[in-house]
Amino acid sequence: MTPSAPGAGPGGGGASTIVMTGGTSGFGAITAERLARSGDTRLILGTRRPDTAGEQIPLDLTSLGSVRAFAASTRERLGGTPIDALVLNAGVILPDVAGRTTDGFETAFAVNHLAHYLLLRLLSPALADRATVVLTTSGTHDPATGAGLATPRHAHAELLAHPGRDPDRDPRPRTAGQHAYTASKLCAVLTARSLAGHLDTEHRRLTVIAYDPGQVFGTGLTKQLSLPLRTAWSLLGTPLGGPLRRLNPTLNSRSAAGEALADLALGDFTTPPHGGSYAALRRGRLTWTDPSALARSDELAHALWNDSARLVGID
């Protein structure tokens, strides 16, 4: 593949510094292992448990206080060295919307969006010129993918953070949980869109990407769902799922999803078309396409950015 932009960071031949979440399990672990093996790459992982890849700094995405501590520790450890790639990959799907974080927000929305939004805001000043920011999203945010999950009705940060205030919330716990997940993944695309449109992003020539890995069976994403769903998810991640992956272009193996994310972090990918920021993995290959209609709304992206700032306590 062709590097997106030569320079001192990823894809430019020099040493690079990468900060990542979601690098201890699933396809993210494959990404982290490859990044750690790159002799010219320094990898810093936000983790809840010890891992063998890179340097670890404690991070609990259910606590905004932990996010702030991680960002401060990261900048202190770097000592002024800029970040060449920020990979915001961690995610969770829950069986309902009953869970709340220490800050009082619905857990899936808080982990998948608010914590990563805050981390992005806190670490943005430390990004190098020509740095890459990758936010892992999901094709489930787009009704056109036909993923079988409840698709987003909106990206209203206040209602997603406090679903009990949403007058149209589905009364079925499982469906409400699916909506919380897919809506949070819509928020990832909108956040990427908003950041990509900032004047500072253009001035610093940052590359901002929303990465859709497709449906990747066999990861730990479903670990909090019912036993039948966990079992099916695990089995389809084995060679038994191979025939399905050949039939459905949105299904990908863990290795393909992890390697593609590493390519994005390292800058080892074909330059997207002008204005393109949505990279979807289809049949194991990165493609540049359009996200859902909601995800293409500048008005929604602007409102989500400002509302999220208020929720996490940023002016």
Tens of pLDDT, residues 239-266? 666 666 566 677 788 899 999 999 999 9
Instruction: Give the pLDDT score at 242.
Output: 65
Instruction: Give the pLDDT score at 224.
Output: 66
Long-range contacts of 39-43 (CB under 8 A, 24+ apart): 40/14, 40/15, 40/16, 41/10, 41/15, 41/16, 41/17, 41/266, 42/15, 42/16, 42/17, 42/18, 43/18
**pLDDT surpasses 50 at 222:** yes
Reading the block at residue 201, the tokens are 């992003």
Instruction: Give the pLDDT score at 246.
Output: 65
Instruction: Give the pLDDT score at 230.
Output: 54
Pick from 245, 91, 106, 208: which is nearest to 163 by CA? 106
- Count the Cβ atoms, other than its own, within 10 Å of residue 229: 14
pLDDT per position as a tens digit, 9-44: 454 456 799 999 999 989 999 999 999 998 889 999
| 140: three-class secondary structure by DSSP | helix
125 burial class (0-12, 13-18, 19+ CB within 10 angstroms)? exposed
**pLDDT surpasses 90 at 282:** yes
Q: pLDDT band at residue 3, thresholds of 50, 70 and 90?
A: very low
- Set out the domains of the chain in order of their start, with CATH numbers: 16-312 (3.40.50.720)
| 143: three-class secondary structure by DSSP | helix
Q: Nearest 5°: CA angle at 291, between 294 and 233?
A: 105
Pick from 77, 195, 45: which is nearest to 132 by CA? 195
Instruction: Give the pLDDT score at 6.
Output: 34
Measured CA to CA, the distance from residue 179 to residue 187 in angstroms comes to: 12
Q: What is the mean pLDDT of residues 51-77?
A: 95
Instruction: Give the pLDDT score at 252.
Output: 85
